[in-house]
Amino acid sequence: MKNLINTPIQMAKYLAFFSIMAFSGSTLAASLSALVDDFNHSTNNNLGVQRQFMNDTVAGGKTNTELKITAGVMHYEGDIVPPRGQPGWASSVLLLDPQGLPKDASAFAGVELKIRVNKGNLSLSANSTEITNFDYHAATIVTENDGEFHTVKVPFTSMKRMWSEQTELNKSTINSLSITAFDLQQGAFDFEVDEVRFY
C-alpha cells in the first residue's frame, strides 16, 4: 500500500485538514437554530420537521380539536373533555429533530412565543430525552386576554416537573417543545401562535 504521507510538510497539511474538518463537524452537530417555527409552512416547522398534534383521547379522554394554519399563524381550538380522574389536554408538539434525537439548547436561556390566548389554560414544556415518565419541565403561559398578540419569554429556569422529583432541566437533551391546553374539568380552549423561538 502506497504511503501518501511521506514528508513532515504533508503530515502537517494532513493534520491541519482533518482538524478543520473535525471542528466544522462538531460545530454543525452542536448548532441549533434559534427560530423553531414561524408557521409559514402548512405542515413543517422551520427545522423541516412535521408538526405533531395529540390530545387526551390516547388516555381515555374525549377532547376534540380543530387546527388551522393560515398566513403564518397556527390557530388551535377545541373542547377539553378530560378522562375520569385526570386532567384533560390538547398538545401541539414541535420536534427539533425528525428522529426525535436530542439537540443542545445550552446556548439559550429559554423559549420565546408570540401568542394570542383567546380562551383556556396553556403551558409550554421543554421535552428532554432524559425524562421517561412524560413529566417534562413545563411552565404556565401567562399573558393578557385582550385580543392582541403578546411576546412571552419563558426561561428554562422557570420550568418545573409536576409530580416527579424536581430535577434541573438538561438543556443539551431537549428533543421537542410542546404548547399544551389543559383543564381539570370540561372547558374550551382557543389560542393562536405566530412564532416560537429560543432566546
5-19 tens-digit pLDDT: 444 444 444 334 333
Q: Are residues 48 and 19 in the same domain?
A: no
Contacts of 195 (CB under 8 A, 6+ apart): 35, 37, 38, 39, 112, 113, 114
Print the SS3 string covering 98-125. CCCCCECCCCCCEEEEEEEEEECEEEEE
Per-residue pLDDT tens digits for 45-79: 999 999 999 999 999 999 999 999 999 999 999 99
pTM of the entire structure? Answer: 0.83
CATH code of the domain in which 49 resides: 2.60.120.430
Q: Are residues 21 and 111 in the same domain?
A: no
Q: Are residues 95 and 173 in the same domain?
A: yes
Please tell me the predicted confidence (pLDDT) of residue 145: 86
Range of the domain at 4: 1-31
Q: Are residues 7 and 76 in the same domain?
A: no
Per-residue pLDDT tens digits for 103-132: 999 999 999 999 999 999 999 999 999 999
Q: Is the Cβ–Cβ distance between 154 and 113 less than 8 Å?
A: yes
Q: Are residues 43 and 21 in the same domain?
A: no
- Cα–chain-centroid distance for residue 71? 21
Q: Are residues 99 and 145 in the same domain?
A: yes
Please tell me the predicted confidence (pLDDT) of residue 31: 66
Q: Are residues 78 and 94 in the same domain?
A: yes
pLDDT at 2 over 70: no
